[in-house]
Amino acid sequence: MNFDLPLFILILDLFGTVVFAAAGVLAAAQRRLDLFGVIVVGTVTAIGGGTLRDLILGRLPVFWVQDNLYIWITVTTSVLVFASARRLRFPHQAIQIADAIGLAVFTIIGANVALSLGHSPLIAVVTGVMTGVFGGIVRDVLTAVKPMIFEKEIYATAVFAGAFVYVNLTWFLPDHWETFNTLVAMSVVLGLRLAAIRWHLHLPVFLSVEDQRDEDHKINRKDSQ
C-alpha cells in the first residue's frame, strides 16, 4: 500500500487506476493490438501520470515499484476489458467518460501529494494538472490519435479549475474537511468534462489575425494533422 496517502485518497487512487487502465484498453482497440500490447497501453495510461508526479517531486522509486497492487490492477483490468470488449458493445463515449473519471481522481491526488510534501499551492496546481493529463497524453500519442487535451471541448480548463478549487479549499478549510475538499474538487473536474462532452462546450480558442480573417471569409482550414 502507498501509505503516504490517507485511506479515502488511496481508495480513489485504486479506482482511478482501474478506469484509466480501461480507457487505455478501449483506446488501444483502435490499433488492433494483441493481449500483451493492450496490457502495455492500459498500464502506461493508468500509471503514467503518477509516475511523472513521483519523478518531478523526487519520490523514488515511483509508487508502483513500491506497491505491487497498482500493477496487478492494471494487468487484471486490461485482461478483463480485453476479454469483455470482444463480446460487449462499448459506446464510443466510454473512453471519454472513463478518461474524465480518471482525470478527476489523478488531478486531485497529484495536487494532494505535492501539498503533503510541503510544496506551494502554485506547484500543487501544476503537479495536479500534469498528473491528471499525462497518462492520457501518452495513451493518445502511443495510439496515434489527437490527444483529448487538444480537442476543442473544455479539458485543460476543467483540470486547472479542479486543482485550483482543491488547493484553495485545502488552504482555507481545516484539515478534517479533507474528504469534503477532495469530493468537491473532483466534482468540478468531472462535472466540467461531462458537461463539455455532452454539450460540446468550449472556450474561445487561440486564433491569430490571419485565422480570424479566414474565419470571416468562411474558409475552413483543413486540420493539418
203 binds a second copy (CB under 8 A): yes
Where does this chain touch a second copy (CB under 8 A) — which range of 10-18, 27-35, 98-106, 180-188? Answer: 27-35
Rounded CA gap, 38 and 44, in Å?
A: 10
Residue 12 or residue 196: which is nearer to a second copy going by CB?
Answer: 196
Are the beta carbons of 95 and 23 closer than 8 angstroms? yes
Q: Residue 93: which region, alpha, beta or left (left: phi > 0; alpha: psi -120 to 50)?
A: alpha
In the complex, the smallest distance separating the C-beta of residue 7 from a second copy, rounded to whole angstroms, is 23
Binding mask 183-202 for a second copy (x = CB under 8 A): -------------------x
120 binds a second copy (CB under 8 A): yes
95 binds a second copy (CB under 8 A): no
38 binds a second copy (CB under 8 A): yes
32 binds a second copy (CB under 8 A): yes
At 191, phi and psi to the nearest 5? -60, -45
In the complex, the smallest distance separating the C-beta of residue 68 from a second copy, rounded to whole angstroms, is 5
Q: Which of 6, 10, 119, 178 binds a second copy (CB under 8 A)?
A: 119
At 72, phi and psi to the nearest 5? -55, -40
Rounded CA gap, 16 and 18, in Å?
A: 5
Residue carrying C-alpha cell 466534482 = 187
206 binds a second copy (CB under 8 A): yes
The CB density around residue 40, as the number of other CB atoms within 10 Å, is: 16
Where does this chain touch a second copy (CB under 8 A) — which range of 3-11, 105-113, 183-191, 208-216? Answer: 208-216
Rounded CA gap, 8 and 73, in Å?
A: 18
Binding mask 73-92 for a second copy (x = CB under 8 A): ---------x--xxxxxx--
Rounded CA gap, 219 and 125, in Å?
A: 38
Rounded CA gap, 206 and 225, in Å?
A: 17
Q: Residues 128 to 147: which contact a second copy by CB under 8 A?
A: 129, 133, 137, 141-147
123 binds a second copy (CB under 8 A): yes
30 binds a second copy (CB under 8 A): yes
Residue 178 or residue 214: which is nearer to a second copy going by CB?
Answer: 214
Rounded CA gap, 132 and 126, in Å?
A: 10
